[in-house]
């Protein structure tokens, strides 16, 4: 018999948890299985595939020069860039106005350009990444994060939701809602360069604030500072 059962249990935990599915994989393949012809393409993977296709198409059609440079930068910031970044890439104000007027690009937020045309299917996502772009140190979270991942929501959030560590930034500020929370390093990832909470953390946040997705089980109480 092991003289120190606590040490024995601790040594066994990594072996047990190693066999558990990653939360992202579980949601994508078990909770939300769907796809063409009944294939097992989860909505998360399907949503990501749609955005990857948009990124590839943007790189393919962008003419060489300033437009290509601006598009490349936007694709590292969630498909958005500040107006001054576009000007630094070599575009002129008249060129930017023409891109927006023709519907080639969009304006998800004052002073921020989206390198995709306006569309109900993507406007909410670009508003979220635009909000994060103008607020360094903030992370896309809650319903906005769920929207980026393709998690089912009862309604598309019009106001972007972010999480910040500083309490002074909480509440509704300049067309976005800011939550306060402690986020561990492994609870934050990126979406085409834009900071966003992981799927697992997003589900917890939705449950804690009474916005759990329709498929999710009740969220247990948080046992640490969240």
Residue 163 or residue 180, greater confidence: 163
| pLDDT class of 36 with cuts at 50, 70, 90 | very low
Residue 217 domain flag: no
In a domain, 7, yes or no: no
Closest CA to 133 of 90, 176, 72: 176
Q: Are 2 and 10 in contact (CB under 8 A)?
A: no
Instruction: Write down the pTM of the prediction.
Output: 0.74
Number of domains the chain is built from:
1
Sequence-distant (≥ 6) Cβ neighbours of residue 178 within 8 angstroms: 135, 138, 161, 162, 163, 164, 169, 170, 171, 172
Q: By residue range, what is the domain housing residue 131? A: 23-208
Decide if 110 is inside a domain: yes
pLDDT score at 221: 41
Coil/strand/helix, residue 218: coil
**For residue 216, is it within any domain?**
no
pLDDT given at position 182? 87
In a domain, 18, yes or no: no
pLDDT above 50 for 1: no
Q: How confident is the model at residue 24 (pLDDT cuts 50, 70, 90)?
A: low
Higher pLDDT, 30 or 203: 203
Res. 45 pLDDT band, cuts 50 70 90: confident
The whole-number pLDDT of residue 89 equals 96
pLDDT digits 0-9 by tens, 123-170 = 999 999 999 999 999 999 999 999 999 988 888 888 999 998 665 555
Does residue 135 belong to any structural domain of this protein?
A: yes
Q: Evaluate whether 205 touches 142 at the Cβ level (below 8 Å).
A: yes
Asked whether residue 131 is assigned to any structural domain, the reply reads yes
Specify if 214 maps to a domain.
Answer: no
Mean predicted confidence (pLDDT) in 108-132 = 96
Distance in angstroms (rounded) separating the CA atoms of residues 226 and 111: 32
Span 60-85, pLDDT tens digits: 999 889 999 999 999 999 999 999 99
- Asked if 194 contacts 150 with a C-beta cutoff of 8 angstroms, the reply is no
103's tokens: 């519907």
């Amino acid at each position: 018999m092991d003289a120190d059962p606590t040490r024995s249990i601790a040594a066994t935990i990594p072996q047990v948890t190693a066999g558990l599915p990653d939360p992202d994989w579980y949601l994508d393949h078990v909770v939300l299985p769907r796809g063409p012809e009944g294939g097992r393409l989860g909505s998360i993977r399907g949503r990501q595939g749609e955005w990857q296709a948009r990124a590839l198409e943007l790189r393919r059609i962008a003419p060489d020069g300033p437009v290509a440079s601006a598009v490349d930068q936007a694709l590292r910031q969630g498909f958005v860039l500040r107006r001054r970044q576009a000007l630094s890439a070599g575009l002129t104000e008249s060129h930017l106005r023409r891109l927006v007027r023709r519907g080639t690009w969009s304006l998800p937020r004052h002073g921020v350009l989206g390198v995709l045309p306006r569309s109900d299917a993507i406007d909410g996502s670009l508003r979220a990444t635009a909000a994060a772009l103008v607020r360094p140190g903030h992370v896309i979270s809650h319903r906005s994060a769920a929207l980026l991942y393709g998690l089912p929501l009862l309604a598309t959030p019009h106001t972007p939701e972010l999480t910040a560590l500083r309490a002074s930034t909480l509440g509704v500020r300049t067309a976005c809602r800011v939550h306060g929370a402690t986020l561990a390093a492994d609870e934050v990832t990126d979406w085409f360069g834009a900071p966003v909470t992981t799927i697992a953390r997003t589900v917890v946040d939705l449950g804690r604030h009474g916005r759990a997705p329709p498929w999710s089980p009740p969220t247990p109480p948080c046992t640490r500072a969240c």
